[in-house]
Amino acid sequence: MFLVGLTGGIASGKSTVVAMLQELGCAVIDADVIARQVVQPGFLAYQRIVQAFGPEILMESGEINREALGSIVFSLPEKRQLLNSITHPEIQKEMLKQILKYFVLGYRYVILDIPLLFETNSLTRFMKLTVLVYCDPQTQLSRLMRRNGLTQAEAEARIATQLPLDQKVKLADHVIDNSGSEEATQRQVLKLHSSLEDSLDFLWVRFMAVTAVVGVGGLVCFLLQRLVS
């Protein structure tokens, strides 16, 4: 099994691409879903966030008010870095659990949906392939304004918190251009899916895993023979 890192920019249409991949039967681990899970009451990240940002970010139910927290971290880079330092380790732990689950189930590859894959740059070395969902800057801006009901200034400020998509294009192994129609995007997704299905890279990881298991088993047998002889 090998890992494919999928990323994009805010309002670039990554969720659309993920939905298409899931319809094709791909195993997708969504970092955003995990990020929402690990900040629920009772989790370690939740406790640390409340300590760092204060109880004013909480709703009456005790859950974190994502909009209140978002308004803080989008306007203050140092606060955003603090939040990332709290949540990222917990997110990565949960992602690893899910990767192991898919490995045991026999999947050839797993797609990791990570919005800030290139910004954090801590996981790219584990990816066999990185895929960027791209759209032109003007389309990105208009989509974000329409989707979130933001002014142009507010939308531009949110986009500015991420690496520009044109810069991410240079870092990605594969680019899906989502500037046009849904049909055009789907054709690109199908082409990517076909190439991933045809890849034999998963065999190397399987071979290493089997070798490790056999090696450990052989060592145990050797030690037992020594003990009883």
Give residue 222's pLDDT: 43
Average the pLDDT over each of 57-66, 114-123, 136-145 and give the range with the smallest value. Answer: 114-123
Which CATH number do you get for residue 130? 3.40.50.300
Taking alpha carbons only, the member of 16, 7, 6 closest to residue 182 is: 16
Give residue 122's pLDDT: 83
Q: Which tens digit of pLDDT belongs to each residue from 118-127?
A: 988 888 999 9
Q: Is the CB of residue 10 less than 8 Å from the CB of residue 144?
A: yes
For the four alpha carbons of 139, 144, 150 and 154, in that order, the dihedral sign comes to: negative
Q: Is the CB of residue 130 less than 8 Å from the CB of residue 14?
A: no
Give the end-to-end CA distance of the chain in Å, rounded to a whole number: 40
Q: Residue 6 — φ and ψ, nearest 5°?
A: -110, 125
Taking alpha carbons only, the member of 92, 91, 104 closest to residue 1 is: 104
Residue type, 120: T
The domain total for the chain is 1
Strands 2-7 and 109-113, by their bridges, are parallel
Q: Inform me whether the pLDDT recorded for 78 exceeds 70.
A: yes
Residue type, 113: D
Q: Is the CB of residue 65 less than 8 Å from the CB of residue 57?
A: yes
Q: Count other Cβ atoms within 10 Å, centred on residue 71.
A: 12
Q: Which tens digit of pLDDT belongs to each residue from 32-65?
A: 899 999 999 999 999 999 999 999 999 999 999 9
Q: Inform me whether the pLDDT recorded for 31 exceeds 60.
A: yes
Taking alpha carbons only, the member of 25, 17, 27 closest to residue 184 is: 17
Give residue 71's pLDDT: 87
Which residue did the predictor score with more confidence, 85 or 209?
A: 85
Q: Inform me whether the pLDDT recorded for 211 exceeds 50.
A: no
Taking alpha carbons only, the member of 112, 147, 145 closest to residue 8 is: 112
Find the domain containing 178 and state its range. Answer: 2-228
Give residue 208's pLDDT: 47
pLDDT confidence band for 204 (50 / 70 / 90): low
Taking residues 70-90, report their average pLDDT: 90
Taking residues 138-163, report their average pLDDT: 94
